[in-house]
Each structure stands twice: as C-alpha cells, then as structure tokens.
C-alpha cells in the first residue's frame, strides 16, 4: 500500500527533516515535492538537499513542475511566459493576436525548458516525476454589446496552426470543433509522451494526474490516450469532491473505477488524489470516506493534496487544517499495513 502527500511552502532543511519524519509517523511512504520555476532558479541546491533528507527519512520522492509555464497545476508564478512572449498560448479571438500567460506545449523553447527541469529533477536523486493536470487554456467570453457567447481556447499560435494543417489537411478553425478538440488532446498527449520519454531516459519514474472529467474543454476527453503512454508508470486522477461540488462516495468511486480499469488494461499503477485543501469545517470526516471508497475500489496508491491540510497557504488552506490532517492520518494508519 502506498500513501503520500504533496509538500510545499518551506525550503528550510531543518523543518523539512522534521516534517518528513512526521509524514512517516502519519502513515506516508512517499512525498510529492513541488519544484517551481522559482525553485529551479533559486533553490537548485536546496532541492537536492530536500530530496536527500526525504529519502533519508524513508520516503519515496516525486517532483512536481508546480505551475511551470502555468500549464500544470500549482500556485506558482511563471517567469517563462514573461520572458518568452512568442511561446505563449494564442487564443482564438478573430480580433487579433491575443495571448494568454500560459506556455504553448508545442513550442520547442518551452519543451527545452522542461528538459532542463527534468535534468535537475534527475540530479536531485528523486525516484520520479509527477505530471500534474497538464492543460491548455479554455474560457468563455460574452461581448457586452450582444452576440453569442464564445468558447475561447488555446492554442492557435503559428506552430500549432502548422501542426493542425499537417494533420487535418485544412486551416485550423476558430470554433471549438471536434477536430479542434482532438487536436488539443493530441497536443497534451504528445507533450506527455515527450516529457515521459526524457524523464525515463534519466532513470525517473513517470506519474500523471488528469482532471477528474472527460469534458473536452479540460483537454483530455479520452483518458485511454494518456494511460497507454509507454513510459508512464503511474496513472491517476484527482476527484476533489469539495471543489467540484460532488458527492464524495459517488465521485471518488466512479473516478477510481475508471482509473483502475485503464491501469489494468495498460499495466500501470493506479493513483487517486484526496482533497486535503479548502476543506470546509465540519465536513472533514468525508476524507476518511473518500479513502475508504478509493481503497475498496481497489486503489493501492493514495495521495493527499496537501500535507497538514494545506495550512501553509492562505489561498488553498482548509478551514480546520489540523482536523483535516488528523482524518488523513487516521485513514492512512488504518490501511497502512494491510
């Protein structure tokens, strides 16, 4: 049985050591450390020390490109999108060149940047990397002066347009058509194939987490395309029932079963993430239910976002972080030695 949690907000080694020891006591055997653009720029040596300390404590370590290029999950700024305006995702506005602060997954410059991230990840001695919620921009736009609501999406840059034309034999449309949906999915899948091949060559295990939906606006609508990626070791999703306003039992069960079915088919390890951030007061017990549901569905790799109920960050903190973590701990220890 594997249990873990993500960890961020601290770069002081003495405190990291203490917290990693606590994670072990609380039933964890792996940790996902975030490694943002800020970290690779200013904490490259510190990250090596943090990974070492975590492994010494007895945890398996995964690194997460937290908010890198603003195309993965994570509350972190990106300087890449500022430094390389040409590599941003261009939106499908007919009015002109409108680019969002998210990197285009098809541009060589961003991919090179990710290769540098992978090289540092390998250098830290971590066991693996965690590709969290890779996505493209999607939003809705309604003009004040009338007209119908528009789907706004990325990416329509020159590089993406060329790839689209090559694949489909005509110019990329501005509407959110079926071909556009497939193209965006293909873009994310090809990006993950690229990353996982590079990481695997460096001896890193690849782990991926998809949004708990097959709505094409989120990018991936056929999970199988990701589950079948050769170098992916772990495949999972994050049915965050408080965030998506879903029933904990129904949502966690449905997503766990879908993940497990694909993992069995493609021989991957199935992972389910438990919501341990923005947990409303007096609903903390649902965490234990979620872990029971995932376990009973057959999931044997469970992680929580994040350590100690995400007490360290205002934006995502739970109302009673200590109660949240107590629930996580109780559930983890219940199953730990089974």
- C-beta of 89: minimal distance to Zn ion in Å? 6
Q: Which is nearer to Zn ion, 92 or 256 (CB)?
A: 92
DSSP 248: H
- C-beta of 242: minimal distance to Zn ion in Å? 33
- C-beta of 154: minimal distance to Zn ion in Å? 7
Residues 6+ apart with CB under 8 A from 134: 71, 72, 105, 188, 191, 192, 208, 219
Q: How far is CA 94 from CA 91, 141, 173, 183, in A?
A: 9, 13, 10, 19
Q: Which is nearer to Zn ion, 188 or 328 (CB)?
A: 188
- In the three-class reduction of DSSP (H, G, I as helix; E, B as strand; rest coil), residue 138 is classed as strand
Q: Which is nearer to Zn ion, 35 or 104 (CB)?
A: 104
- C-beta of 159: minimal distance to Zn ion in Å? 5
The answer to whether residues 287 and 279 touch, using CB atoms and an 8 Å cutoff, is yes
State CA 190 to chain mean position distance. 16
Q: At what angle do helices 321-335 and 286-297 cross, to 10 degrees?
A: 30
Residues 6+ apart with CB under 8 A from 195: 114, 118, 129, 131, 206
Q: What is d(CA 80, CA 77) in angstroms, rounded to the nearest whole number?
A: 9
Q: Which is nearer to Zn ion, 74 or 154 (CB)?
A: 154
Enumerate binding residues for Zn ion (CB under 5 A).
104, 106, 155, 157, 159-160
Q: Which is nearer to Zn ion, 159 or 246 (CB)?
A: 159
- C-beta of 277: minimal distance to Zn ion in Å? 31
């Amino acid at each position: 049985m594997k249990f873990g949690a993500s960890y961020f907000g601290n770069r002081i080694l003495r405190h990291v050591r203490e917290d990693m020891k606590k994670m072990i006591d609380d039933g964890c055997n792996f940790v996902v450390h975030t490694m943002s653009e800020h970290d690779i720029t200013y904490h490259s040596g510190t990250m090596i020390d943090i990974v070492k300390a975590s492994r010494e404590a007895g945890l398996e370590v995964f690194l997460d490109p937290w908010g890198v290029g603003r195309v993965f999950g994570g509350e972190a700024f990106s300087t890449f999108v500022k430094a390389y305006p040409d590599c941003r995702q261009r939106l499908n506005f007919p009015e002109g060149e409108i680019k969002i602060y998210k990197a285009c997954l098809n541009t060589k410059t961003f991919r090179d940047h990710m290769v540098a991230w992978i090289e540092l990840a390998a250098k830290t001695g971590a066991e693996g990397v965690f590709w969290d919620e890779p996505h493209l921009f999607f939003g809705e736009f309604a003009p004040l002066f009338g007209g119908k609501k528009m789907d706004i999406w990325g990416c329509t840059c020159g590089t993406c347009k060329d790839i689209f034309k090559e694949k489909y034999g005509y110019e990329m449309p501005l509407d959110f058509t079926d071909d556009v949906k497939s193209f965006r999915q293909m873009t994310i899948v090809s990006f993950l194939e690229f990353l996982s091949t590079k990481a695997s060559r460096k001896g890193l295990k690849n782990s991926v987490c998809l949004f708990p939906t097959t709505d094409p606006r989120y990018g991936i609508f056929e999970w199988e395309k990701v589950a079948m990626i050769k170098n992916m070791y772990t495949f999972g999703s994050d049915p965050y029932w408080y965030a998506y306003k879903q029933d904990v039992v129904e949502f966690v069960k449905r997503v766990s079963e879908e993940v497990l079915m694909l993992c069995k088919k493609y021989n991957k390890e199935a992972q389910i993430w438990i919501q341990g951030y923005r947990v409303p007061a007096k609903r903390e017990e649902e965490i234990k239910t979620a872990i029971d549901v995932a376990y009973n569905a057959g999931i044997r790799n469970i992680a929580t976002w994040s350590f100690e109920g995400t007490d360290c960050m205002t934006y995502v903190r739970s109302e009673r972080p200590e109660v949240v973590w107590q629930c996580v701990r109780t559930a983890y220890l219940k199953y730990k030695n089974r």
